[in-house]
Amino acid sequence: MEPNPSNCNNNNISSSCSSSNGYEHDIIKWFEDVTEKAGSVQTQMLSQILKQNHGVEYLKRWLGDYNIPDMDACALESLFTSVVPIASHEDFEPFIQRIADGDTSPILTQQPITTLSLSSGTTGGRQKFVPFTRHSAQTTLQTFTLAAAYRSKVYPTRKGGRILEFIYSSKQSQTKGGLTVGTATTHYYSSQEFKIKQEKTKSFTCSPDDVISGGDYKQSTYCHLLLGLFFCDEVEFITSAFVYSIVQAFRSFEELWRDICDDIREGGLNSARIKVPKMRKAVLSLISPKPCLASKLEAACLELEKEDWFGVIPRLWPNVKYVYSIMTGSMQPYLKKLRHYGDGLPLVSGDYGSTESWIGVNVDPSLPPENVTFAVVPTFSYFEFIPLHRQNQDDYNCTSSSIMSDDFIEDLPIPLSQVKVGQQYEIVLTTFTGLYRCRLGDVVEVSGFHNGTPKLNFTCRRKLILTVNIDKNTEKDLQLVVERGAQLVSGEAAEVVDFTSYADVSRQPGHYVIFWEVKGEVEDKVLDACCREMDVSFADHGYVVSRKTHSIGPLELRVVERGTFKKILDHFVANGAALSQFKTPSRRENLEEQCRTVEGGAAVRGPLH
């Protein structure tokens, strides 16, 4: 198949499929074909991006003197990567702001941009605008349906079954120039592609649009749970954009189940819980009294409550085959709780993408989330990879072809076809939506290949590290350390609900501060032991040496009041973030400062050294 975006979108592929099985066969065949020749497909993708958008203001300064339409694809690739510089999102912000303000000239793309996506902003510190086009919605559809085709080979589901989806739209707004602004998930859930996905995969979400777009995540969550239980025998799998949303929903269920059972018994809707008129009307049009089901659910929940809700998912949804969500990176700390709820139910990691572009698909859904890899889809964007090498403490001299950065030594970017197994890279994107050689900030490792396309293991966000001086600890390093400390708490019949951290350099020597929210009672002497265990568990050589020389002070553990992280969530959502994109705030933020911004604040007990 010719690697043309008009041929590679899911509308085109799916239109030839007469059944779900036929569709799955066709889309997998298409993917196998394009990955066999991934390198040449990438060259053609870049050629199409540039020929569509040559002459835009951003590119003119480097490509303005070349006859782009008549250039051979290979020559164009060589020219582009040699003269157009690597950029960060900050380099595009002035251009995107002009678009947001109403400038309709060809600044980044020849086609007018009418919609902007907001990144989550919760791991990088602030939200940013990213252009969103029909191509964005089409690649989202393609990602979901391609991944569904591979999942169905391992975990077959019934046609016409339902999906319990904890998905949430946030409010859309208008820029000064009249452009629609919202999260990428909000744009997708309101698009035609979202409806096409359900038709083509023959699996339908339990919740109607008015629940997804209700505007109040607490009310939406209640309705998701209610409808999921009303149709419990029909639900084939449970999903959300991020695993955090699923864990949050089931934590809420522990408190809501009695009201939900009452509503199922009466075929009604709790007026104190659900107040949005459109949401009420939509849910009430779907349900009817089911007293026998309500009694059955009540009996099960009474037993589950005694067992701390262990195995609630398979117990209440007997036909669920798996749970599907993004479970990598900052989502990994929630896997333990999800496994508690799932009691051995397969956990399938969702696919790899960002607000800027989808990147790869999980073609090995039987792998546990900790080992998941993502096969790069070579038609989504043009991908480059900056080789990264971990610094040794004495490694401060770079070759002429390398650049010293804060946490890695960088080599020059290479195309997808030249990556090597075992090497770490930062991803660079050139997209159909107007980003050119833009750093994504993600560190990935190539674990192998699917035909000719690399399979990536997500390692961490590049800049999200704890550092005081020469110490460099990534998000994954922090997660491992917290897990070591939390093991001591679990022995006390308690659990760490959530955590965050920052490096306090306000006084010397600087030190790490870790915040925990703990469920259950834990004595101070146990928390002191947890603090010491975490302090000695950091493996980074710079941290170990700095602690020995006292240039970094003892780690500090602060225990926050129960419900603190829920308040943080409410604060972000109230300020326009979508629950479906929410991640616990940056590991580098001071949680005490964040707590003071939320209504009522949050008590912090500590420090514990």
Q: Which CATH number fits the domain that encloses residue 523? A: 3.30.300
- pLDDT value, residue 516: 86
Residues 6+ apart with CB under 8 A from 515: 499, 500, 501, 558, 559, 560, 591, 604
Same domain, 484 and 339: no
Which residue positions in the chain have pLDDT lower than 70?
1-23, 119-127, 184, 187-188, 190-195, 197-203, 391-407, 463-465, 468-471, 491-492, 541, 570-609
Phi, psi of 251 (to 5 degrees): -65, -40
- In a domain? residue 194: yes
Q: Using CA atoms, how far apart are residues 284 and 277, in angstroms rounded to an integer?
A: 11
- pLDDT value, residue 122: 41
Task: Calculate ∠ Cα 595-599-600, nearest 5°.
Answer: 80
- In a domain? residue 454: no
Residues 6+ apart with CB under 8 A from 517: 496, 497, 498, 499, 559, 560, 561, 562, 563, 564, 565
pLDDT digits (tens, 9 = 90+) for 240-291: 888 888 988 999 999 999 999 999 999 999 989 999 999 999 999 999 999 9
Q: At residue 324, what is the residue type?
A: Y
Q: Using CA atoms, how far apart are residues 510 and 487, in angstroms rounded to an integer?
A: 26
For the chain, the domain total comes to 2
- In a domain? residue 240: yes
Q: At residue 396, what is the residue type?
A: Y
- pLDDT value, residue 279: 92
- pLDDT value, residue 397: 38
Which residue, of 317, 345, 373, is where some domain finishes? 345
Q: At residue 78, what is the residue type?
A: S
pLDDT digits (tens, 9 = 90+) for 526-567: 888 888 988 888 877 678 877 877 778 888 898 888 888 877
Which residue, of 327, 345, 363, is where some domain finishes? 345
Q: Which domain holds residue 226?
A: 156-345
- pLDDT value, residue 323: 95
Which residue, of 297, 322, 345, is where some domain finishes? 345
Phi, psi of 471 (to 5 degrees): -80, 140
Residues 6+ apart with CB under 8 A from 138: 5, 9, 10, 11, 193
| pTM (predicted TM-score) | 0.75
- In a domain? residue 171: yes
* DSSP bridge pairs for 559: 516, 605
Same domain, 180 and 327: yes
The tokens for 123 are 């791991």
Q: Using CA atoms, how far apart are residues 31 and 8, in angstroms rounded to an integer?
A: 9
CA distances from 534 to 19, 326, 443, 474 (A): 54, 27, 24, 15
Chain centroid to Cα 310, Å, comes to 26
Put residue 48 in one of left, alpha, beta given phi > 0 → left and psi -120 to 50 → alpha: alpha
- In a domain? residue 99: no
Residue 380's nearest CA partner among 36, 22, 48 is 48
- pLDDT value, residue 332: 79
Same domain, 341 and 479: no
- pLDDT value, residue 394: 45
